[in-house]
């Protein structure tokens, strides 16, 4: 055979090999589209819906079981930082999110009276930082999934694994059998309680109020989030799209379960009397019945996330205080890493343990950092608040940029698994 023919044959062979590899990858996904693997996701919040969408993109057909009888427009603002927005781009829902979100390019730390402490611009990371109403994000994810895969009004109370099958038991007496069970059932997860039995979440000594209003103060800088510090109190403000403004407030007290919702607005106006505007204007412009009131809760990081063919994601396993706005973002990250592990390693118990190992360090870091940030933010004595203002004002911008890059640059699609 001539040299030319040999080269042509070799090139052709390599092209055929490349084509075969690509064909095998496509075939693998196509096979999974009709795979008999039964995946049940408990929880139809941000984490559960993101997991369902990520799993469908790699060929599985999960079913989502949500306890609420209908998905109402409840909640307040939620931050979608670049680490999560890049995922939403890959999942095909970023456009729907961006049309209803407010972009945040910088943050200003202020004293309660409006005096500037520090001004930090967000680094460029290839995707914007945004905030929107939680219901808008949930709706974007929900509409990307087949309606037939969402089951509302289904309360999963427990499960049992027998062999390679899991039997999920529901409050209505029904039992659903599946091959994999993923718990995305939130802060008070029943599935977590069954395997870890570690009691209620930890109260961090302060309570949080959240609201969204159609009021958009003219004095508020565009594309800017504000965080104001007082003695044992904080107030945050930011755009959430469609001319709306989201806000949150904290105070050093335990959440009172008996608090009357209609009294929340009046209480907040009293708590933040004397603070610079638009703090009280935003509170007053928010319908009292829509103001949310919760305790600041988290849990100690757990090395165990699951057992057998069940694992947890999102707030069910690593609930965090709201100080960094990363709770929903981490749940979205979990969803992608879990789907990638199943695609790479197949449907097996060890695959779930691999997912858990790869997510533990990241979620522990952010949960701990959020707790420390909140602890300093809630300092209350005159001396400690002066110290906090001094520390924040002296923080090198290079250090702040480093921390932001650490959080924002994480790529759930690129991280080595």
Domains of the chain: 39-408 (3.50.50.60)
Q: What is the mean pLDDT of residues 87-97?
A: 98
pLDDT computed for residue 27 by the predictor:
45
State the pairing for strand pair 292-298/245-251: unpaired
Beta-strand ranges (E) seen in 275-369 are: 292-298, 306-307, 310-312
- pLDDT over threshold 60, residue 7: no
214-222: list long-range contacts, CB under 8 Å, 24+ apart.
214/243, 214/244, 214/245, 214/285, 215/245, 215/278, 215/281, 215/282, 215/285, 215/286, 216/243, 216/244, 216/245, 217/245, 217/277, 217/278, 217/281, 217/282, 219/277, 219/278, 220/245, 220/278, 221/106, 221/108
Token digits for 41?
């996701």
Higher pLDDT, 59 or 222: 59
Q: What is the predicted pLDDT for the residue at 57?
A: 97
Residue with tokens 């749940």: 331
Per-residue pLDDT, averaged over 376-393, amounts to: 98
Q: Is the pLDDT of residue 20 over 90?
A: no
The region of weakest confidence among 35-49, 142-156, 209-223 is 209-223
**How much is the average pLDDT of 210-233?**
93
> What pTM does this model have?
0.91
pLDDT of 407 higher than 90 = yes
Lowest-confidence pick of 13-22, 163-172, 389-398: 13-22
Q: Which residues of 88-114 are buried (b: 16+ CB within 10 A; e: fewer)?
A: bbebebbebbbebbbbbeebbbbbbee
The packing angle between helices 327-345 and 349-377, to 10°, is: 160
């Amino acid at each position: 055979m001539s040299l030319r023919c040999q080269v042509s044959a070799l090139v052709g062979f390599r092209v055929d090999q490349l084509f075969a590899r690509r064909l095998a990858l496509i075939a693998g996904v196509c096979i999974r589209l009709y795979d008999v693997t039964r995946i049940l996701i408990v929880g139809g919040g941000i984490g559960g819906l993101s997991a369902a969408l990520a799993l469908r993109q790699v060929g599985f057909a999960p079913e989502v079981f949500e306890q609420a009888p209908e998905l109402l427009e409840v909640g307040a603002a939620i931050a979608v930082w670049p680490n999560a927005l890049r995922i939403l781009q890959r999942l095909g829902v970023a456009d729907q999110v961006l049309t209803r979100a407010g972009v945040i390019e910088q943050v200003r730390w202020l004293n309660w009276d409006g005096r500037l402490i520090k001004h930090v611009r967000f680094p460029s990371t290839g995707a914007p930082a945004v905030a929107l109403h939680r219901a808008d994000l949930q709706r974007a994810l929900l509409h990307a999934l087949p309606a037939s895969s969402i089951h509302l009004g289904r309360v999963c109370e427990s499960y049992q694994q027998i062999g390679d099958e899991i039997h999920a038991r529901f409050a209505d007496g029904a039992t659903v059998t599946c091959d994999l069970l993923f718990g995305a059932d939130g802060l008070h997860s029943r599935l977590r309680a069954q395997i870890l039995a570690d009691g209620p979440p930890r109260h961090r000594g302060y309570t949080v109020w959240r609201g969204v209003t159609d009021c958009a103060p003219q004095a508020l800088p565009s594309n800017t989030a504000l965080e104001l510090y007082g003695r044992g109190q904080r107030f945050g403000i930011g755009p959430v799209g469609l001319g709306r403004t989201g806000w949150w407030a904290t105070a050093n007290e335990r959440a009172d379960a008996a608090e009357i919702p209609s009294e929340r607005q009046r209480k907040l106006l009293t708590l933040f009397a004397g603070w610079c505007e638009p703090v009280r204007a935003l509170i007053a412009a928010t319908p009292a019945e829509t103001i949310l009131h919760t305790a600041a809760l988290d849990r100690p990081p757990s090395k165990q996330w699951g057992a057998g063919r069940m694992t947890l994601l999102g707030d069910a396993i690593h609930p965090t205080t709201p100080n960094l706005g990363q709770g929903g973002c981490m749940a979205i990250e979990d969803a992608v890493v879990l789907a990638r592990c199943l695609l790479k390693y197949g449907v097996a118990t060890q695959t779930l343990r691999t997912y858990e190992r790869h997510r533990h360090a990241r979620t522990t870091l952010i949960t701990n950092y959020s707790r420390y940030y909140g602890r300093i933010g809630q300092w209350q004595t005159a001396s400690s608040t002066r110290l906090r203002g001094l520390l924040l004002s002296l923080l090198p911008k290079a250090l702040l940029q480093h921390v932001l890059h650490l959080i924002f640059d994480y790529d759930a699609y690129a991280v080595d698994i």
